[in-house]
A = this chain, B = another copy of it.
Amino acid sequence: MKKTDTKKRLLEATLKLISEKGYMGATTREIAQQAGVTELTLFRHFGSKEKLFKELLGSYTFLPRLKELIPELDGLSSREALELIATHFLLTLKERKAMVKIMYSEYTTYPENIREVYNKFILEMRTTMAAYFEGLQRQGMLRKNISPAMTAKMFLWVLFSYFRSEEIMQSTGMKKSIMEKQVREMIDIFMSGTVNNNT
């Protein structure tokens, strides 16, 4: 008997359906059916719909690979480094698309602990990036008169909004070649700004 399997399949089904229909729109019947089990099995495992959802959130790890990535950036130019970070960030979001969608749409309506997961993720990303930018600043590669914190925020905002507009809003999804081109364009603007200096 594969006890673990059932629970796992239920959690996956929950993730899928809630990301598609929202917490209130996803019924326990449908979740169970999607997982290939009876509704009763769902309740035997989790007790209630809310506990199921909380366990889904709790079981979730965003494993910010950003930190692991930073040592690899040493030999690269800051432009190359930011491109690499951006690409990895976007791919992580794409992989976790369903959960990202949930956190995005349920944040305001389902206050209890979804906020914790979300805030933790955002905060970790921000501080990691801010630390990286602070390093660049110390090396003289970043303007002295801007704050690493705001720099980090704007970097992530642009990437996240790009992800949302491409992946969540459009059904098509991002094509890799197009994505890389646009990442390059975004990072170019992010680094060099928009103002014309050639005079």
Cβ contact of A193, chosen from B140, B165, B168, B193, cutoff 8 A: B193
Interface of A is mostly: helix
Residues of B within 8 A of A4 (CB): none
Residue of A106, A144, A150 most packed against chain B (CB within 10 A): A150
Size category of the A interface is: 35 or more
Residues of B within 8 A of A62 (CB): none
Whether A143 contacts B192 in the complex (CB less than 8 A), given A25-B109, A106-B105, A161-B160, comes out as: yes
Interface presence of A158 (CB below 8 A): yes
Interface string of A152-193 (1 = CB under 8 A from B): 011001101110010011000000000000100110111111
Task: Give the distance to chain B from A134, nearest Cβ to Cβ, in Å.
Answer: 12
Task: Give the distance to chain B from A188, nearest Cβ to Cβ, in Å.
Answer: 7
Interface presence of A21 (CB below 8 A): yes
Contact B185 A194 (CB under 8 A): no
Distance, CA A13 to CA B196, complexed state (A): 49
Contact A191 B185 (CB under 8 A): no
Task: Give the distance to chain B from A31, nearest Cβ to Cβ, in Å.
Answer: 16
Cβ contact of A194, chosen from B151, B165, B168, cutoff 8 A: B151
Taking Cβ atoms with an 8 Å cutoff, the residues of A that contact B are 20-22, 24-25, 78, 101, 104-109, 133, 140-144, 146-147, 150-151, 153-154, 157-158, 160-162, 165, 168-169, 182, 185-186, 188-199
